[in-house]
Structure 1
Amino acid sequence: MIARGGDYCVLQLRRQHACGFDYLAQIRYQLLRNQLVAALTLTHLR
């Protein structure tokens, strides 16, 4: 967990593979009224 607040949290994962695929994934969960909203960001680093 890299960030959190009263109604949200952000999780992060970085993976590097021998084939050269290097990425950073972040998922943000946020409670908005009666809904749980998730947003995914995937960034290719190399």
Structure 2
Amino acid sequence: MADHKHGEMDITVQEKTFDSFIWFVSRGAVAIVVLLILLALANG
């Protein structure tokens, strides 16, 4: 097995994927909260 050297792997693709995931989850959470508020106001 090859020796592992910390910090030599190119992780730009993983970082981009993680950033996209965080963006999607945060926008989704905001959309759900807004939807719940609108439903609560509509049902008065």
Task: Tell me whether the two structures share a fold, i.e. TM-score over 0.5.
Answer: no
The structure with the larger Rg is: 2
User: Which one scores higher on RCO, CA 8 angstroms, separation ≥ 6?
Assistant: 1
TM-score class, shorter-chain normalisation, is under 0.3
Which one has a larger percent strand, Structure 1 or Structure 2? 1
Q: TM-score, normalised by structure 1?
A: 0.22
Q: TM-score, normalised by structure 2?
A: 0.23
